[in-house]
Amino acid sequence: MDFALPADLVAYLVELDRFIAREIRPLEEEDDNIRFFDHRREWARTDFDHGGLPRPEWEALLRKAKDYADAAGHLRFAIPKHYGGRDGSNLWMAVIREHFASKGLGLHNDLQNEHSIVGNFPIVTMLDGYGSDEQKAMIEGSMTGKYRITFGLTEPHHGSDATHMDTRAVAARRDNVKGWLINGEKMWTTGMHVATHCALFARTSGDDGDARGITCFLVPAKSEGVKVEEYMWTFNMPTDHPRVSFTEVFVPEGAVFGEVGKGLSLAQCFVHENRIRQASSSLGAAVYCINESVKYARERKPFG
């Protein structure tokens, strides 16, 4: 079995390294931006006076790096060509993500918040595969930052087995508008502090444990009845991972994302797109740690 990487993939890694050295590293070092990556990073990134949320200047720096990468043609690498991407495969994305993480912490790639100059856009894949024409119109804005769609699947009492979720949606009518009334809670709805929408999963039919009967809704984040209950503090701050409640939240029929009762396919689309890249990044981080450990072991002078 041949495990050698394709020559064109290896060449692209070199191209990415040159771009990082030419545009991203100088941005990382200017105006003391390095404070977000050195020993000061937790305090530099975290607004402890506002629930431990990311500081706006930190998130603005990440957006600026993404804009540089987009202008250079790298950010949308994994996106279909008709959206300005390169149709990048999972193999290429896995190798790129491992390569980036093995370089250590930096503005080119940050595992804490899924930031990367080669973007990971599972929501775009969902919109492209399952969205209505109106929802597909949000794809460009999802990459440029106009739209931020969070992922509302996990619940306080239900994680890996999402088919037992407690969140419910029932058909309803409000002011002569047909739609759905949603009640429930979600955990780890990452990015809700700046979100425009939440891709919210709720049971609309069937019994707990059924794969069918779950529906996804694109719920505007500012809808009446949507409330961030708390931001979950983690081992590494800042946090943008809240517990969010949805109380009598009404959405029109146009908010249905995909087919009614078949929302689990959208959840799997997101997870399958995302997890392989996160695993590759974790492998790269392990490689970095091993390399640093070996480097230290070779320099260390024990016992005098």
Q: Is residue 130 domain-resident?
A: no
The DSSP-derived string for 97-159 is: HHHHHHT-SBTTEETTTTEESS---HHHHHHHHH--HHHHTTHHHHHHTS--EEEE--BTTBS
> What is the pLDDT at residue 235?
85
The neighbour count for residue 101, using CB atoms within 10 Å, is 24
CA angle (220, 223, 227) in 5-degree steps? 105
What is the model's pLDDT at position 252? 98
User: Is 125 a domain residue?
Assistant: no
Contact 241, 193 (CB under 8 A): no
Cα 244 from Cα 231, distance rounded (Å): 9
51 and 156 in a single domain? The answer is no
How much is the pLDDT for 304?
A: 74
In a domain, 203, yes or no: yes
Residues 209 and 161 reside in one and the same domain: yes
Q: Which run of H or of E encompasses 240?
A: none
How many angstroms separate the CA atoms of 33 and 45, rounded?
10
Domain that holds residue 83: 7-120+268-299
211 and 151 inside one domain: yes
| Token duo for residue 198 | 């939440």
**pLDDT at residue 234, rounded to an integer:** 86
Per the listing, tokens 């495969």 go with 89
- 131 located within any domain: no
CA 297 to chain centre: 36
| 142 and 257 housed in the same domain | yes
Same domain, 255 and 144: yes
CATH number where 177 lies: 2.40.110.10
**What's the one-letter identity of residue 125?**
T
Asked whether the CA dihedral 76, 81, 86, 91 is positive or negative, the reply is positive
Determine which helix (DSSP H) or strand (DSSP E) holds 6, and give its type and residue range: none
Q: What pLDDT does 1 receive?
A: 82
Whether residue 247 sits in one domain with residue 290: no
Q: What is the pLDDT of residue 140?
A: 97
Q: How many domains are there within the chain?
A: 2
* Mean pLDDT of each 10-residue bin along the chain, 304 residues long: 91 98 98 96 95 96 98 97 94 96 96 92 95 97 96 89 93 96 96 97 96 97 97 90 97 98 94 88 97 95 82
pLDDT number for residue 274 = 83
Rounded distance between C-alpha atoms, residue 241 and residue 14, angstroms:
35
Q: Rounded to 5 degrees, what are φ and ψ at 292?
A: -65, -35
**65: in domain:** yes
